[in-house]
């Protein structure tokens, strides 16, 4: 018998893998049958509301929750902050009240608002103001990252010489502001005690790791906690934790002896549920006459909230590294809500800073931006130079780059058109995953995994892997996920889920299939199992039908066959490191400052693609999210009051369908990529839009709009500045 | 939101009666697209909410001897669908530019005219004038969406009404009833708006117990030798539901290619709709060309007084005026 090896098989033999397959849960989601956390209302469920602080920096000086105890309908309450506690940003949670009806909880919160008192302290919230932060003692000097090939012993001197020898030196200031997490479904929890056992329904990216956080916070045993997440409206990095409001929900449920549900309202969601840190930079680039970049010097600053921090210095410049470079990071400690990993942290900021500055070098040299990026591909650090070149060629053809390209600013009329590009990288290796695949003697198949489908299509992908392996239709397998009682798997973040679950399920399924093949061999007197194959509901031997799938499974006897799958393993089912290139065609109305996206092309690799449709959906979703943060989405802090002044969906501007333009998602999957196995895709396509759209706008108007998002104000201010 | 009484009058007289109680601490409910936000944010706390949607006389558009009467409870969808309004292009353009089926289905003309400012300081609880310790937060704060005209007083917000500029350019009047039982008043819409000097004032002349029942529009005579043209141009950052960064509406009387009458009104640039006589004067007696529209637009913004963060709105207002003029004569090409 030939050695049995895990693998994906030949591309041409796939019945499901790599095809366009609609999500198996699409209908239940669209028809409202899928239950999200806000839909959970087991009998007696109390509704909780929050008291939040309206100061950016203060001390809690008075609050007595006793006044709500006798209020109508109020059954439980919780105080997040003790008297004397320091409040460090607008929106911090102070107290919660659970009542039989929402309006009763709101009345109780109103009563608390009348009695709560704060000692207001000095605040600092201007994330772009490095000098102001220094004056306010809110500036951190953080890491420095330098190297010089010109002078390894004296790096500073080497970098200085490289700049002196460069044909051109470009200096510019760039920035990308803080945005907030904006999942369609806000954070929230439904908690219900059954004796000592706690049932939690919550929108989470981590069903397997969250019970420990509840257990620790509530001082109960981890085995008492079950976390369930059936359907979710996005996570994007903001939903890994039990969170203080989740723990409060469980505590109030205990106090009341009734289930409690607490969902964050949108303003609170924007203020406390996590942000993407800002990045501002002064960048100098030295380049040779042919566009080869030889030197880089950057100072960047930004904030991840009161902790300071910002964008990791070790990753700047991004994707590329240059023979002589210095980068220095500062952090601003702002009285603003905390950072949480935001889809591809912190690559969108790194990309925006690096590739806009590179594009300006092209403008300074009068070069086609395409040629400058191509010229510097030898400096990419992920070894994917040839892939980028190929992706650039494909993207350029799709957007008709060569025909449409013009020198920066070289157009007439008030509405100007321009092209821009950027490229990116991401890891996306498989995360830890354990699953159980169960094959019943009647041929039905089910699986269990403590992973979750945060809206990305994980259920569908697992179904495809199992159905493909067993030669069944996608409806012939039943996938169970989203419970902490299933075999433990990694949180869904960092694009590690698809590799994790597809590898583990393939291993389990192939192992199970081989055991069934062994029984088929005995039953049907075959010489070997080498020629056996499961396809179209049958077991085939060299193409000839031996028996049906059900007949084969009946050989299992009375007990189902249960196989555990784990991963990741070094067996080529999965891999890591991807790249992608994006190009955009935009127009800029120079009288109104409004930017419109005409066409936005993404060429993206992610190894072997399980479901082409879901993959393209990931990309179009990422481009949409990218258009949001590139053109309109931003957190606006009010310096005087210290408050998050646009924490509503009127002023926290997100694009509507008419703002999106034509999105083209090209999945780059030559055999060389297919053969790498599965790699995650969630993050990478959201990285380039900021730089790509900024470069397109710069090409259109001949002026760099330094800070993203490129709002009408910033576009018009930049145009006016250039005229001055 | 605090509890309130809910009243559902069937006649204007009943509405006036209902609005008068509680010392006038009452609110009018039409489409509710602004009122519910205000209630939920506790920015207003009326003791009674009077729903005027069941008053038949306030619904729809009717022809009267000297023009049209638009009921205050007429929805944006009804504006779009009414054949009577087909000569009033600018009004339909405004209704269409809302880009929101929900607002178009629920929102009403009266509600739009009485919409409170969207100023984020007001909406975050710092009062109509957006102050802390008597100091304006917007004056040198986050004022990118605030006024570039009429901002030398304490009010920095911009008037929220989207229809008012176009209606004023048409010479519309508002019909008000109350607060006395038989009190009826018809006033030019331009004079309906107030640039408040204190937090106690509001954005309109409405007194407690008084409300808007109708908008009167002058008739457009199809046989008149002076052709009545109109257009509105709203600069919207987003293609979906969004508030204009600035807008302009024009009404032109054109005879033999020459402008004989002109009204130019800007929106979202001042605490009230902003009538530009300067721009209108530039247009009078001339043939509309791109250059003339640019001159008029320049005149419209020549005396703007932008705040620390909204100089860009001058450019946007200029573009809105130019484009509204060109749109009115079907010469807009962007």
For residue B141, the chain A residues in CB contact (below 8 A) are 638-640
Q: Which residues in B23-35 are b (16+ Cβ under 10 Å) and which e?
A: ebebbbbbbbbbb
At residue B2, the pLDDT reads 80
> Which residue from A352, A378, A379, A358 is spatially nearest to A370, judged by alpha carbons?
A358
| CB–CB contact A594 B126 (8 Å) | no
Average pLDDT, chain A: 97
Average pLDDT on A715-722 reads: 97
Where do the CATH 3.30.390.50 domains begin and end in chain B? 227-328
Smallest CA–CA distance from B130 into chain A, residue? A641
Q: Name which residue leads in pLDDT, A723 or A490.
A: A490
pLDDT of residue A708: 98
pLDDT digits (tens, 9 = 90+) for A73-85: 999 999 999 999 9
A724 pLDDT tier (thresholds 50, 70, 90):
confident
> CA-CA distance, B42 to B159, in Å (whole number)?
21
- The pLDDT assigned to A523 comes to 98
Residues of B in contact with A636 (CB under 8 A): 142
Above 80 in pLDDT, residue A576? yes
Domain B227-328, CATH 3.30.390.50 — does that match? yes
Query: From the CA atom positions of chain A, what is the Rg in Å?
Result: 28
Question: How many angstroms away from the CA of B320 is the closest CA of chain A?
Answer: 8
Contacts of A573 (CB under 8 A, 6+ apart): A6, A7, A8, A430, A502, A503, A506, A507, A567, A677, A678
Q: Distances in Å between the alpha carbon of A623 and those of A32, A663, A687, A688? A: 26, 7, 9, 9
pLDDT of the residue at B333: 87
Q: Which two tokens stand for residue A454?
A: 């945060």
Is B238 in the A-facing interface, judged by CB distances under 8 Å?
Answer: yes
Query: Residue A326: which of A161, A159, A167 has the closest Cα?
Result: A159
Residues of B whose CB is below 8 A from A646 = 120
- CATH number, domain A11-34+430-567: 3.30.365.10
Label residue A525 by pLDDT band (50, 70, 90): very high
pLDDT over 70, % of chain B: 100
**CB-based contact A439:A519 (threshold 8 Å):** no
pLDDT at B113: 98
Q: A412: pLDDT confidence band, cut at 50, 70 and 90?
A: confident
Residues forming CATH 3.30.365.10 domain(s) in chain A: 11-34+430-567, 37-122+182-272, 359-427+575-723
User: What pLDDT, on the 0 to 100 scale, is given for residue A192?
Assistant: 98
Share of chain A above pLDDT 70, in %: 100
Q: How confident is the model at residue A581 (pLDDT cuts 50, 70, 90)?
A: very high
Q: In the predicted model, is pLDDT for residue A2 greater than 90?
A: no
pLDDT of residue B1 exceeding 80, the answer is no
| Across A283-294, average pLDDT | 98
Q: Do the chains contact at B316 and A632, CB–CB below 8 Å?
A: no
The whole-angstrom separation of Cα A54 and Cα A89 is: 8
Q: A359-427+575-723 maps to which CATH number?
A: 3.30.365.10
Confidence grade of residue A321 (pLDDT, cut at 50, 70, 90)? very high
Q: Does B243 touch chain A (CB under 8 A)?
A: yes
Output the pLDDT for position A596.
Answer: 97
Domain A37-122+182-272 sits in CATH at 3.30.365.10
Sheet holding A58-62, edge to edge: A86-87, A58-62, A117-120
Residue with tokens 């698809």: A498
Facing A655 at nearest CB: one of B124, B132, B238? B238
Contact A711 B121 (CB under 8 A): no
| Predicted pLDDT at B187 | 98
Task: Check CB contact under 8 Å for B237 and A653.
Answer: yes
Backbone angles phi, psi at A584, to 5 degrees: -130, 145
Six token digits for residue A289: 């006459």
Average of pLDDT values for A109-117? 97
pLDDT of residue A21: 97
Distance, in angstroms, between A365 CA and closest chain B CA? 30
Confidence band, pLDDT 50/70/90 cuts, at residue A411: confident
Please list every residue in chain B whose beta carbon sits closer than 8 Å to the beta carbon of residue A642. Answer: none
Angstrom distances, CA of residue A468 to CA of A11, A556, A615: 12, 20, 18
Sign of CA dihedral A555, A559, A560, A562: negative
Confirm if A595 and A587 have CB atoms less than 8 A apart: yes
**What is the length of chain A?**
724
Q: Would the CB atoms of B42 and A639 count as touching at under 8 Å?
A: no
The helix (H) or strand (E) run that includes residue A355 is helix A347-365
**Whether the predicted pLDDT of A1 surpasses 80:** no
What pLDDT sits at residue A88? 98
End-to-end Cα separation, chain B, in angstroms: 45
Report chain A residues touching chain B, CB-CB < 8 A.
54, 103, 106, 110, 414-415, 589, 591-594, 632, 636, 638-641, 643, 645-646, 648, 650-651, 653-659, 711-713, 716-717, 720
Q: Name residues whose C-beta falls within 8 Å of residue A10's C-beta, 6 or more positions apart in sequence.
A: none
pLDDT tens string B293-323? 999 999 999 999 999 999 999 999 999 999 9
The arithmetic mean of pLDDT across residues A202-224, rounded, is: 98
Q: Is A592's CB within 8 Å of B239's CB?
A: no
What is the per-residue pLDDT across A654-667, written as a single tens digit (0 to 9) for each?
999 999 999 999 99
Instruction: Find out whether A637 and A645 touch, Cβ atoms under 8 Å.
Output: yes
Nearest to A123 by CA among A101, A138, A145, A104: A138
List the single best residue of B42, B132, B144, B237 to mutate versus A (max A Cβ within 10 A): B237
- Residue A408 binned pLDDT confidence (cut-offs 50, 70, 90): confident
CA-based nearest residue in chain B for residue A109? B1
SS3 A27: helix
pLDDT value for A92: 98
Summary mean pLDDT of chain B: 96
Q: Is the pLDDT of residue A63 over 90?
A: yes
pLDDT of residue A545: 97
Query: Mean pLDDT, to the nearest integer, of A322-337?
Result: 97
Mean pLDDT of the region B62-70 = 96
Q: At what angle do helices B89-97 and B312-328 cross, to 10 degrees?
A: 130
Determine the pLDDT at residue B23: 87
Mean of pLDDT values over A488-517? 97
Tell if the CB–CB gap between B245 and A712 is shorter than 8 Å.
yes
The predicted structure's pLDDT at residue A409: 85
Q: Is B124 on the interface with A (CB under 8 A)?
A: yes
């Amino acid at each position: 018998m030939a050695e049995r090896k895990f693998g994906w098989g030949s591309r041409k033999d796939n019945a499901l893998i790599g095809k366009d397959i609609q999500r198996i849960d699409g209908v239940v989601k669209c028809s409202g049958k899928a239950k999200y956390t806000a839909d959970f209302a087991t009998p007696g469920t109390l509704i909780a509301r929050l008291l939040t602080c309206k100061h950016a920096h203060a001390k809690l000086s008075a609050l007595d929750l006793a006044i709500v105890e006798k209020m109508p309908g109020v059954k439980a309450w919780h105080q997040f902050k003790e008297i004397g506690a320091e409040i460090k940003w607008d929106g911090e949670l102070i107290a919660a009240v659970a009542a039989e009806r929402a309006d009763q909880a709101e009345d109780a919160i109103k009563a608390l608002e009348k009695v709560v008192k704060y000692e207001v302290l000095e605040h600092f919230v201007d994330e772009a103001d490095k000098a102001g932060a220094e004056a306010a003692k809110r500036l951190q000097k953080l890491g420095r990252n330098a190297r010089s090939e010109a002078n390894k012993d004296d790096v500073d001197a080497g970098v200085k010489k490289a700049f002196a020898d460069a044909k051109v030196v470009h200096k510019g200031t760039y920035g990308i502001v803080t945005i907030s997490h904006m999942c369609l479904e806000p954070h929230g929890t439904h908690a219900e005690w059954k004796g000592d056992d706690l049932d939690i329904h919550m929108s989470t990216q981590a069903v397997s790791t969250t019970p420990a956080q509840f257990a620790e916070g509530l001082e109960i045993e981890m085995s008492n906690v079950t976390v369930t997440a059936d359907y979710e409206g996005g996570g994007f990095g903001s939903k890994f934790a039990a969170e203080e409001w989740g723990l409060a929900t469980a505590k109030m449920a205990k106090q009341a002896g009734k289930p409690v549900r607490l969902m964050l309202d949108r303003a609170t969601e924007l203020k406390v549920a996590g942000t993407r840190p800002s990045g501002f930079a002064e960048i100098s680039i030295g380049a040779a006459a042919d566009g080869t970049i030889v030197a880089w010097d950057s100072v960047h600053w930004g904030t991840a909230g009161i902790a300071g921090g910002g964008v990791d210095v070790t990753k700047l410049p991004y994707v590329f590294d240059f023979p002589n470079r210095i980068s220095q990071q500062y952090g601003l400690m702002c009285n603003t809500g905390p950072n949480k990993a935001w889809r591809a942290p912190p690559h969108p900021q790194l990309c925006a800073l690096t590739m806009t500055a590179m594009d300006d070098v092209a403008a300074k040299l009068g070069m086609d931006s395409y040629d400058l990026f191509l010229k510097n591909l030898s400096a990419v650090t992920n070894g994917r130079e040839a892939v980028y070149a190929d992706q650039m060629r494909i993207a350029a053809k799709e957007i008709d780059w060569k025909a449409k390209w013009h020198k920066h600013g070289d157009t007439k009329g008030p509405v100007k058109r321009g092209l821009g590009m950027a490229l990116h990288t991401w890891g996306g290796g498989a995360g830890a995953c354990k699953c159980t695949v169960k094959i019943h003697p009647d041929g039905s198949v089910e699986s269990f995994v403590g992973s979750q489908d945060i809206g990305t299509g994980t259920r569908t992908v697992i179904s495809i892997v199992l159905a493909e392996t067993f030669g069944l239709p996608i409806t012939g397998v039943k996938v169970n996920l989203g419970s902490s009682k299933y075999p433990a798997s990694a949180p869904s973040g960092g694009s590690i889920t698809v590799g994790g679950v597809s590898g583990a399920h393939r291993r389990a399924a192939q192992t199970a299939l081989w055991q069934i093949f062994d029984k088929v061999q005995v039953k049907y007197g075959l010489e070997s199992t080498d020629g056996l194959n499961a396809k179209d509901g049958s077991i085939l031997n060299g193409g000839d039908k031996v028996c049906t799938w059900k007949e084969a499974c009946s050989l299992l006897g009375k007990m189902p066959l249960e196989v555990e799958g784990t991963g990741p393993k070094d067996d080529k089912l999965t891999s890591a490191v991807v790249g992608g290139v994006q190009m955009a065609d935009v127009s800029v109305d120079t009288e109104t400052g409004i930017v419109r996206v005409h066409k936005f092309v993404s060429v993206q690799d992610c190894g072997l693609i399980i479901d082409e449709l879901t993959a393209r959906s990931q990309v179009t979703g990422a481009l949409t999210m990218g258009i949001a943060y590139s053109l309109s989405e931003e957190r606006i802090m009010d310096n005087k009051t210290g408050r998050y002044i646009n924490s509503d969906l009127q002023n926290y501007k997100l694009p509507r369908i008419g703002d999106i333009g034509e999105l083209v998602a090209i999945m780059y999957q030559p055999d060389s990529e297919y053969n790498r196995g599965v790699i995650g895709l969630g993050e990478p396509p959201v990285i380039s839009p900021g730089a790509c759209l900024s470069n397109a706008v710069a090409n259109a108007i001949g002026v760099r709009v330094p800070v993203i998002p490129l709002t009408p104000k910033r576009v018009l201010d930049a145009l006016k500045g250039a005229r001055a | 939101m605090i509890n309130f009484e809910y009243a559902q009058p069937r006649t204007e007289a009943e509405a006036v009666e209902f609005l008068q109680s509680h010392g006038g601490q009452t609110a009018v409910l039409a489409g509710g697209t602004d009122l519910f936000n205000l209630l939920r944010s506790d920015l207003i706390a009326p003791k009674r909410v009077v729903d005027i949607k069941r008053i038949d006389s306030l619904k729809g558009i009717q022809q009267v001897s000297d023009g049209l009467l638009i009921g205050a409870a007429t929805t944006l969808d009804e504006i779009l669908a009414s054949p009577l309004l087909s000569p009033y292009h600018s009004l339909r353009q405004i209704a269409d530019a809302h880009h929101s089926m929900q607002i178009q289905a629920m929102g009403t003309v009266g509600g739009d005219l009485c919409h409170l400012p969207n100023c984020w300081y007001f909406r975050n609880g710092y009062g109509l004038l957006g102050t802390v310790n008597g100091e304006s937060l917007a004056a040198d704060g986050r004022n990118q969406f605030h006024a570039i005209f009429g901002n030398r007083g304490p009010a920095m917000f911009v008037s929220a009404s989207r229809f008012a500029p176009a209606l004023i350019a048409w010479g519309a009047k508002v019909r008000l009833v109350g607060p006395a039982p038989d009190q009826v008043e018809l006033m030019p819409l331009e004079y309906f708006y107030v640039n408040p000097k204190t937090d106690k004032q509001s954005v309109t002349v409405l007194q407690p117990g008084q409300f808007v029942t109708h908008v009167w529009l002058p008739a457009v005579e199809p046989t008149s030798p002076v052709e009545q043209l109109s257009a509105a141009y709203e600069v919207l950052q987003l293609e979906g539901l969004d508030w204009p960064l600035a807008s302009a509406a024009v009404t032109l009387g054109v005879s033999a290619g020459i402008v004989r009458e002109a009204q130019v009104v800007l929106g979202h640039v001042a605490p009230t709709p902003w009538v530009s006589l300067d721009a209108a004067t530039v247009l009078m007696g001339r043939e509309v060309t791109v250059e003339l529209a640019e001159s008029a637009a320049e005149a419209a913004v020549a005396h703007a007084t932008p705040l620390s963060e909204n100089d860009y709105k001058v450019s946007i207002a200029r573009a809105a005026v130019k484009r509204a003029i060109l749109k009115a004569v079907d010469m807009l090409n962007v």
